[in-house]
Amino acid sequence: MTGHYVHTQGCRTPSAASPVRHAIVDTHGVADPLERFWREDRLASEPLPLERWLEDALACLFRPVAESGFWDEGTDRFVTALRASDLDGPPNGREWSPVRGTRLRAVPVALQRVLRWRASSIGTAVYDEHLYRLLEYGRSLWADDVLRGRLSPAARGALLEASCLAADSFDDRWLADARAGFEVSRSTEVTDRADAPFVTGVAALAERTDDGAVREALAAYLDSLERVHVAAEWGAHRDLQETVVALARGASVLGRPDTLALAGETLAATVDRRLRSDGAFRPADASLVRRLTWRLLAAGPTAPAVREWHLLAPVNQSLFASAVGAYTAAGGQRSFDDTVDAALRWLVSGNPLEADLFEASGLGVPVPVVTVDGRTDVPGHRAKGVDEVAALVEALTTVLTATDETDSSPLSASPPVSDSGDDHAVRSPA
């Protein structure tokens, strides 16, 4: 994300030099051509309050649960999610209840994402005490044999990178924690796109050490992820975007332009296959198999409330922005600036709710989901995950620092191998 974004009144908006001014804008339900022209021009020119969104998201994460936040003062860590009893009606006065649960992925991933903000050029020390406590919690997960055995590859990868980022932000001793976590995770196998964050964590460690064993392991994990990614069916949006991040960061550390090209191809295919005309990303494809499966389930006693591909989750916008940031930072040559801009603008206008999704929740962060017909109160989808809010923090950090960082990737000075054009039609996942 370089070149087409400029700061305007503390916000980032497409510059006049951009070849396409907000190429994907909402025209849904706007019948009058003159009104559509006025609306598109207005949406393209108004700056987004990215800094305010970032401040509000961080405040939501570290606000006590008694005040509709994610911080549990009893355990000194995040709760897994906040759940609303309903999402109908005005947001003022809506009650959000903490979901503590026993999932061991959400909190490590949230910690990793917030530490990316802390280690960035716009990170501050305001939440350091909370972050120290979360890091100690992560250390306890490594130390407990039972809990460590329950950690998924994604959670392990999140803890690895969190320790690396803590070393950048606080003290080098945290790098020893990352190394210890890597040693007890050597038997981890990458067999699914959902395991991609583990590869990202190993890449973070390899970037900060000259240990040949770590780099050799990264190369093997990256090979496994590439094979899985190319062979697998087109899957969940989250897994695809986290795979892009892992491919890009691994490629940057090891100097593998073909791997970076695959990351770019996946982003291009995501835009081709999943991007709606209003700027939202569909979470899944409406394939024939999926449609038939849904019809069978709909006829039974446990029918889902809504088709999966009719659910639009704001977190999907964040995940794409962060994936593009990782790809660009690694030296990727394809430009997705206008798509990122449209994806973030969807959060406040042009979405099916025709409203600001931050205001609609009452939390200061977007509602969990919006259906294609404009509903937010969907049974089974009333919870906002801590990892989703942290994903917003990461995405906003990525966009706000995009032009402030000097690209030091070993690939940035090299011509892309197959990082432009329509190569993704050949190499992208099935």
Q: What is the pLDDT along the chain (430 residues), one digit of tens a residue?
A: 443 333 333 333 333 222 222 222 232 333 333 343 334 444 555 899 999 999 999 999 999 999 999 999 999 999 999 999 876 766 766 789 999 877 789 999 999 999 999 999 999 999 999 999 999 999 999 999 999 999 999 999 999 999 999 999 999 999 999 999 999 999 999 999 999 999 999 999 999 999 999 999 999 999 999 999 999 988 899 999 999 999 999 999 999 999 999 999 999 999 999 999 999 999 877 655 555 554 555 555 554 556 666 889 999 999 999 999 999 999 999 999 999 999 999 999 999 999 999 999 999 999 999 998 888 888 888 899 999 999 999 999 999 998 655 344 445 443 433 354 443 333 445 4
pTM for the full model?
A: 0.84
Question: Residues 111, 115, 117, 119: what is their CA dihedral angle, to the nearest 10 degrees?
Answer: 180
**Residue 312, phi then psi, degrees to nearest 5:** -110, 115
Pairing of strands 71-72, 77-78: antiparallel
Cβ atoms < 10 Å from Cβ of 175: 17
- The tokens 């899944």 sit on which residue? 284
CATH code: domain 5-427 is 1.50.10.10
